[in-house]
């Protein structure tokens, strides 16, 4: 069977890996001009995603690229800065967690798949017909049995298949901006930040990275009015929201004016009831992003891709049956992630000074516990903090290719 995947970041290459293993003919089309290598933001792989990475033989190479950002130093008003050992927080959340820069992970996944799958860069799908004929912005039309959107929160395949994005998105009340800045504080293994009611600014660097990332998170009572391509307006909004904030914020805002890599978006959750229509399906953020920054969506993307490939191999050539099985398998994880993300969005950018104090205090308390006690406490509630580790994966890898 011939499968076309749109998007070569995380979900796309994981899917390409497994489908190639099951002997499907795989093509990946990516809008960016070349494979991702540096930049992006830090993402999390929790236990089930690390199990998939392990089955792909990539555990060691992924571990060799961890960010190493183990400490958070947080300022609040005139109070003494609070230091939190993030390793204890992660240990409470998962028995097997890795934080890695998104583009480092994408590069590892691309390298692991580029020989078996065909990659086409600098192109994008323009139409998909019911019989599988696909047209592109640049390349000639081609025919595929299955088409998969792995093209992120603002998925092109989803728009072409299900209609405008606004019908499926729920804004979680917050905005995020990530900006590449020089590592002028010489950060090594630490994130430093400042919080006030409704806004947080921070800077972190990571191992294997020459520069740093400034991170801005803020709440607004109503959605902001801007076009997603209007970077000048986005920078203006950022300046307005962080005006008058002390510490390093004026310098970070000045750096945001200069930078070439500027990201600004609402924290938005996707809520589709089904991810498949005809011969098209969606995987990762394209289908079920619970909200960037707040829901562990990278783990969901890795696990979703692994399950989709496994079900396609199980049912090939009946992709209808495969899509139905995929949706059944991943559905519960998606719904739990949505619930978790909605709560996390509130925690991430506290609305009041008291809420901010309570969250910093809770992190300090976890920090003060021995690791085993933090884990034991967290295990009482697998639906929240140990959401990811509660997922049990089927072992599809013993299955032989049927395509
Ligand atoms: C600021 C920020 C912070 C985040 N922090 C975290 C975190 O702390 N922990 C965590 O787990 N996750 C985090 N995430 C989420 C994480 O980045 C995503 O969940 C993950 O990257 C999803 O992978 P994906 O492959 O589904 O989509 P994406 O990584 O979004 O990749 C989509 C790919 O599709 C390509 N594409 C887009 N349009 C087209 C098109 N028309 N044609 C072809 N290709 C196209 C894109 O160029 C991209 O390569 C964060 C996200 C953001 C934005």
pLDDT digits (tens, 9 = 90+) for 70-120: 898 989 877 788 888 888 878 878 889 999 999 999 999 999 999 999 999
Q: How far apart are CA 108 and CA 300, in angstroms?
A: 18
Any atom of ligand 1 within 6 Å of the Cβ of 293: yes
Are 112 and 189 members of one domain? no
- pLDDT of 353 reads 73
- pLDDT of 279 reads 98
Best mutation site among 4, 10, 106, 238 for ligand 1, i.e. most ligand atoms within 8 A of its Cβ? 10
> Domain boundary residue among 240, 268, 296?
268
Are 222 and 247 members of one domain? yes
Residue 364 C-alpha to ligand 1 middle, in angstroms?
31
Quick check: bond before 235 cis, omega within 30? Answer: no
- pLDDT of 399 reads 64
- Report yes or no on 246 lying in a domain: yes
* Cα-based angle 382, 336, 5 (whole degrees, multiple of 5): 125
Residue pLDDT, tens place only, 261-288: 899 999 999 999 899 999 999 999 999 9
Are 263 and 127 members of one domain? no
Any atom of ligand 1 within 6 Å of the Cβ of 107: no
Are 33 and 157 members of one domain? yes
Nearest to 94 by CA among 393, 385, 391, 299: 385
Name the E strands within 197-301: 199-205, 212-219, 262-270, 276-277, 280-282
- Closest residue to atom 4 of ligand 1, CA basis: 293
Residue 152 C-alpha to ligand 1 middle, in angstroms?
5
Q: How far apart are CA 156 and CA 143, in angstroms?
A: 18
Any atom of ligand 1 within 6 Å of the Cβ of 98: no
- Closest residue to atom 51 of ligand 1, CA basis: 292
pLDDT tier at 378, thresholds 50, 70, 90: low
pLDDT tier at 398, thresholds 50, 70, 90: confident
Q: What is the CATH number of the domain that holds 223?
A: 3.30.9.30
pLDDT tier at 12, thresholds 50, 70, 90: very high
Are 306 and 323 members of one domain? yes
Ligand 1 atom index nearest CA of 301: 26
* Cα-based angle 209, 214, 218 (whole degrees, multiple of 5): 145
Q: What is the CATH number of the domain that holds 341?
A: 3.50.50.60
Q: How far apart are CA 301 and CA 14, in angstroms?
A: 9
Domain range enclosing 230: 172-268
Residue pLDDT, tens place only, 49-77: 999 999 999 999 999 999 999 898 989 87
Any atom of ligand 1 within 6 Å of the Cβ of 284: yes
Q: How far apart are CA 299 and CA 228, in angstroms?
A: 26
Are 278 and 249 members of one domain? no
pLDDT at 19 over 90: yes
* Cα-based angle 99, 119, 177 (whole degrees, multiple of 5): 40
Ligand 1 atom index nearest CA of 13: 25
pLDDT tier at 36, thresholds 50, 70, 90: confident
Are 223 and 277 members of one domain? no
133-136 and 142-143 as β-strands: parallel, antiparallel, unpaired?
antiparallel
Residue 66 C-alpha to ligand 1 middle, in angstroms?
18
Q: How far is CA 250 from CA 180, 239, 245, 255, in A?
A: 15, 9, 7, 9
Write out the two tokens for 282.
């969606």
Range of lowest pLDDT (21-25, 235-239, 255-259, 352-356): 352-356
Any atom of ligand 1 within 6 Å of the Cβ of 67: no
Are 137 and 46 members of one domain? yes
Ligand 1 atom index nearest CA of 263: 1
Best mutation site among 275, 298, 349 for ligand 1, i.e. most ligand atoms within 8 A of its Cβ? 298
DSSP track, 214-233: EEEEEE-SS-----TT-HHH
Residues with Cβ within 8 Å of residue 225, at least 6 apart in sequence: none
Residue pLDDT, tens place only, 192-227: 999 998 999 999 998 888 899 999 999 999 999 999
Residue whose pair of structure tokens reads 């904030």 in the numeric block: 245
Ligand 1 atom index nearest CA of 10: 25
- Closest residue to atom 9 of ligand 1, CA basis: 43
Are 308 and 381 members of one domain? yes
pLDDT at 179 over 70: yes
- Closest residue to atom 20 of ligand 1, CA basis: 298
362-381 burial, b if ≥16 CB within 10 A, otherwise e?
ebeebbeeeeeebbeebeee
Residue 247 C-alpha to ligand 1 middle, in angstroms?
30
Nearest to 165 by CA among 7, 287, 283: 287
Are 256 and 332 members of one domain? no
Are 246 and 325 members of one domain? no
Write out the two tokens for 90.
């992660």
Any atom of ligand 1 within 6 Å of the Cβ of 41: yes
- Report yes or no on 203 lying in a domain: yes
Residue pLDDT, tens place only, 316-371: 999 999 999 999 999 999 999 998 888 887 777 877 776 767 676 666 666 665 55
pLDDT at 151 over 90: yes
pLDDT tier at 260, thresholds 50, 70, 90: confident
Residue pLDDT, tens place only, 281-318: 999 999 999 988 876 899 999 999 999 999 999 999 99
Residue 231 C-alpha to ligand 1 middle, in angstroms?
19
How many structural domains are present in the chain? 2
- Report yes or no on 327 lying in a domain: yes
Write out the two tokens for 102.
């998104």
Q: Name 134's bridge partners.
A: 128, 142
Q: Is the dihedral of CA 318, 320, 324, 326 positive or negative?
A: positive
């Amino acid at each position: 069977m011939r499968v076309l995947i749109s998007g070569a970041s995380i979900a796309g290459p994981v899917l390409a890996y497994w489908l190639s293993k099951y002997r499907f003919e795989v093509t990946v089309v990516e809008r960016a001009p070349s494979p991702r290598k540096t930049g992006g933001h830090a993402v999390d792989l929790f236990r089930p995603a690390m199990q998939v990475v392990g089955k792909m033989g990539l555990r060691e190479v992924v571990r060799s690229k961890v960010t190493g950002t183990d400490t958070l130093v947080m300022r609040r008003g005139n109070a003494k800065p609070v230091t939190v050992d993030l390793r204890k927080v992660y240990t409470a959340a998962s028995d097997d967690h890795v934080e890695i820069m998104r583009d480092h992970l994408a590069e590892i996944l691309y390298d692991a798949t580029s020989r078996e799958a065909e990659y086409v860069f600098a192109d994008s799908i323009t139409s998909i017909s019911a019989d599988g004929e696909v047209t592109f912005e640049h390349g000639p039309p081609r025919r595929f049995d299955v088409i998969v959107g792995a093209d992120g929160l603002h998925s092109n395949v989803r728009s072409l298949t299900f209609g405008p994005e606004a019908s499926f998105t729920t804004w979680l009340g917050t905005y995020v901006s990530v900006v590449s800045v020089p590592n002028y504080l010489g950060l090594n293994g630490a994130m430093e930040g400042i919080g006030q009611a409704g806004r947080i600014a921070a800077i972190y660097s990571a191992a294997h990275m020459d520069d740093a990332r400034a991170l801005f998170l803020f709440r607004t009572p109503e959605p902001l009015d801007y076009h997603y391509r209007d970077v000048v307006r986005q920078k203006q909004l950022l300046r307005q929201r962080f005006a008058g904030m002390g510490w390093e914020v004026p310098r970070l805002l000045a750096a945001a004016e200069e930078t070439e890599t500027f990201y600004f978006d609402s924290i938005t959750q996707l809520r589709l009831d089904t991810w498949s229509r005809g011969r098209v399906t969606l995987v990762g953020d394209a289908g079920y992003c619970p909200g960037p920054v707040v829901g562990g969506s990278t783990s969901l993307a890795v696990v979703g891709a692994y399950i989709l490939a496994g079900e396609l191999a199980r049912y090939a050539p009946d992709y209808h049956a495969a899509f139905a099985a995929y949706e059944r398998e991943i559905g519960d994880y998606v719904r739990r992630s949505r619930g978790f993300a909605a709560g996390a969005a509130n925690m991430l950018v506290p609305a009041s000074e008291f809420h901010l104090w309570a969250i910093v205090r809770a992190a300090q308390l976890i920090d003060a516990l021995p690791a085993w006690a933090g884990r034991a406490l967290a295990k009482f509630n697998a639906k929240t903090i140990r959401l990811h580790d509660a997922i049990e994966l089927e072992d599809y890898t013993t299955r032989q290719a049927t395509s």
